[in-house]
Structure 1
Amino acid sequence: MCWRRLRDWTEAGVWPRLHAILLAELRTADLLDIDDAAIDGSHVRALKGRAHTGPSPVGRGRSGSKHHLITDRYGTPLAVSVTSGNRHDVTQLMPLLDTIPRIRGLVGRPRYRPRRLFADRGYDYDKYRRLLRARGITPRIARKGTAHGSGLGKTRWVVERTMSWLSGYRRLSPRYERDPRNYLAFLGLAAALCCYKRLICLTT
């Protein structure tokens, strides 16, 4: 019964809609700052095979998946995705931006596009800087081969903290789900729960 309900709700798009509703509530409460966004990816071990798994370059080649996450300035999850563990982070940059919902909550046009995007050296490709600028987004991406201490980490650290929050959910780390749709459903639900906890903690 529970698995059938999960399947039906997932196919009906319940989790993305729930996430979008909570983001709108956060924006209404002035608890969302999408002007500055941060993006990152994180490996998670997959105990069972199937789709969206692959040899992890940071896990001695063991099967794994990768979470991709973009957050607002406060670390609020805006969009999440899952790929195999051997996919490069930068390949999911543009698809993840496209997944950000139209966030309502205030009078005027819904927001879905950050003004600045912060990322680590894994996203250091001029091609993607050009793609971001074409969308009116200013890239704030660390350069490879430069010394640490650029100051970008003062804004970028929030996405790493949110990654650790997501990894704290039992169904996400390690990955037990064979079906990638179920796993993405649990990841989307976890992102919505992060939004809900922030909303409740700061408005009560």
Structure 2
Amino acid sequence: MADELSVVRTVGASPWIVSDELWERIEPLLPGKERRFRYPGRKPLPDREVLCGVLYVLYTGIQWEYLPQELGFGSGMTCWRRLRDWNEAGVWQRLHEILLAELNAAAKLDWSRCVIDSSHVRAPKRGIHTGPSPVDRGRAGSKHHLITDGHGTPLAVLLTGGNRNDVTQMLPLLDAIPPVRGRVGHPRRKPDSLFADRGYDHDIYRNCVRERGIVPAIARRGTRHGTGLGTYRWVVERSFAWLHGFKRLRIRWERRADIHEALLCLACCLITLRQINSLC
């Protein structure tokens, strides 16, 4: 089975097979686990193969308990626990910062503007950060709040209940942008301007954005379409299409918010890695 996985990894036929370039960035971030000297138990599966199982769930949307063990990924609970532990250790956040720094070093992050938006997903099993959806007959749902640079590269993502107003997450999204290194000087975490649709039209929040030294470009309610802001805001819609191209994120099946957030952050890392690969 290991030989089969190595062949597929080389060919790159399956997106859930961890590539060498991705593994080189992730491996130093994974927390080590010491085995007990007495009664060490069964030898744990290699982290790389378990990560393949996590990616398999993320790409296909399959339930954890139905993860096919014949592919060599281990059981679904093994992958679930490893994902939980890696998320608690901050692996995905640090990986995202490393990838953003690589893009920034190549001058491929557009700090002249950032774009924010949200997308609603159903949450049949409910859990933390769910709420009655205003667009789906009051059924339980969650919202993905995303902020991207001017090219559509994800900078930060947040999870809230489906009944939360978009404008309440404007400032938390700005605060969630990590300090991005890669260039001479202090790490950057603030764009020059912020673009948003009418759902974020509120003078109090607009003033808060100005106080941070960011120029707000937010559409006002009641104005006609065709203001021209859509020519800049479309990149975040494309980013949501990329994000929800991972089938596990189209519906929130996890009751635990931290597991869904881990999958969200991992998906943002994979999208950012694609942006890096497009430079080659």
Matches within 5 A, 1:5-154: 5-154=82-231
* More strand per residue: 1
1:178 aligns with 2:277: no
TM-score w.r.t. structure 2 length?
0.71
**CA shift for structure 1 position 35:** 1.9
**CA shift for structure 1 position 47:** 2.0
**CA shift for structure 1 position 180:** 0.2
Structure 2 residue aligned with 1:169: 246
Which amino acid letter does the alignment assign opposite residue 174 of structure 1?
Answer: I
* Among 212, 221, 234, the residue aligned to 1:157: 234
Which amino acid letter does the alignment assign opposite residue 33 of structure 1?
Answer: D
Task: Output the aligned Cα RMSD.
Answer: 0.8
Which amino acid letter does the alignment assign opposite residue 185 of structure 2?
Answer: G
SS, match of residue 95 in structure 2: helix
Q: Any idea what the Cα deviations from partners look like across 1:77-116, whole Å, max 9, x if unmatched?
A: 0000000001000111101110100000011111100110
SS, match of residue 136 in structure 1: coil
Q: Which moved more, 1:57-66 or 1:114-123?
A: 57-66
Q: Any idea what the Cα deviations from partners look like across 1:146-169, whole Å, max 9, x if unmatched?
A: 000000001111011101111111
What is the percent sequence identity of the aligned residues? 62
Q: Any idea what the Cα deviations from partners look like across 1:161-193, whole Å, max 9, x if unmatched?
A: 101111111221111111000000000000111
Q: How many residues align?
A: 203
Q: Which moved more, 1:53-62 or 1:146-155?
A: 53-62
Stretches of structure 1 that go unaligned for 5 or more consecutive residues are: none
**CA shift for structure 1 position 4:** 1.8
Which amino acid letter does the alignment assign opposite residue 87 of structure 2?
Answer: T
**CA shift for structure 1 position 45:** 0.9
Stretches of structure 2 that go unaligned for 5 or more consecutive residues are: 1-77
Q: Distance in 2 between matches of 1:78 and 1:50?
A: 26
Higher relative contact order (CA 8 A, sep 6+): 1
Q: Any idea what the Cα deviations from partners look like across 1:7-31, whole Å, max 9, x if unmatched?
A: 1111111111111100000011121
Larger radius of gyration: 2
